[in-house]
Amino acid sequence: MVETAHRNDGVEGVAGGVGTTALLVAAARAIETHRSDSLAQDVYAEHFVLGAPVSKDWPVHPREVPDGDENPLWGRFARYFGLRTRVLDDFLLRSVHAGNARQVVLLGAGLDSRAYRLAWPPGCVVFEIDREEVLAFKHHVLGGLSATPKAARVPVPMDLRADWAGALPGAGFDPAAPSVWLVEGLLFYLPPAAETYLIDTVDRLSAGGSALAFEVKLDKDLLEYRDSPLYTATKQQIGIDLLDLFDRNPRPDSAGHLTAKGWSASVRTPFDFTRLHGRGPRPERNDALAGNRWVFAGKPLR
């Protein structure tokens, strides 16, 4: 084995494989932030992109995007991430302000800066689970900006393909109190058994009154869209082959699984929210977003 110098800035964790996808979403959020009609603001996003050697030359502002909105990656796909950020910001804020939940768990948190961005009620704790190197990189960049979180932030470094159920209670999470969970842009990277384990674990650790939002892809065969502008542009422009990173085994029916356990679940398309907000991606031919669904679930009070 070749020994490499150890770095504690986490850069290696976002330099390749699935960690790079966190930078892709951060770049999209940076661009969205600078749009005159932006749906979400994330002032930290560009610092992640510019802070990693692999992404330091990616655009972080609409004026840096070749072909502007016509660019399938930094135009339409970035708009998708901007819309997703806004819709899930709204879900989280609605859930904590409407109910008693003061524990928020971000699974596959990546470079999500919501702990620093959103107006959390007093007493809120945000748990962030991702791979150790990704969280270290995030910590390094935010530390350099002297950023202050608006809720208590608890990083929980874990591989979500492993048995992670004990990690949250070990980090101070209380399964007897209601919680709000977010699984954004994660499940399609996990093997089906890890997805089922994740949904079961969320159910097991959720008291009545808890809420969960997650994103799935319903496509039977992801390769059907291998020539879509979205996948080809992502590969050509920044060298990320999403289809190679996705787990292409048949997916479990996680929304159905939750309703069988007594949760309510509403399954929406991103295009529903494009209509609601008046901006965002619209359906197109050969659309790699056609199977994407955002699921909003709630566990009833007993």
Ligand X SMILES: C[S@@+](CC[C@H](N)C(=O)[O-])C[C@H]1O[C@@H](n2cnc3c(N)ncnc32)[C@H](O)[C@@H]1O
Return residues touching ligand X (CB under 6 A): 18-19, 21-22, 25, 108-112, 130-131, 134, 159-161, 184-186, 189-190
Shortest gap between Cβ of 300 and ligand X (angstroms)?
Answer: 27
In angstroms, the CA 107 to CA 118 distance is: 17
CB nearer to ligand X: pick between 160 and 168: 160
In angstroms, the CA 281 to CA 81 distance is: 10
Shortest gap between Cβ of 293 and ligand X (angstroms)?
Answer: 15
Shortest gap between Cβ of 288 and ligand X (angstroms)?
Answer: 14
Asked if residue 139 lies in contact with residue 115, where contact means CB atoms within 8 angstroms, the answer is no
Shortest gap between Cβ of 236 and ligand X (angstroms)?
Answer: 19
CB nearer to ligand X: pick between 21 and 206: 21
Q: Can you give 69-136 as a three-state secondary structure string?
A: HHCHHHHHHHHHHHHHHHHHHHHHHHHHHHCCCCEEEEECCCCCCHHHHCCCCCCCEEEEEECHHHHH
CB nearer to ligand X: pick between 114 and 299: 114
Amino acid letter, 52: A
In angstroms, the CA 13 to CA 19 distance is: 6
CB nearer to ligand X: pick between 19 and 209: 19
Biggest CA-to-CA distance, the chain: 55
In angstroms, the CA 18 to CA 191 distance is: 13
Q: Which residue is nearest to ligand X (CB)?
A: 110
Shortest gap between Cβ of 199 and ligand X (angstroms)?
Answer: 15
CB nearer to ligand X: pick between 32 and 112: 112
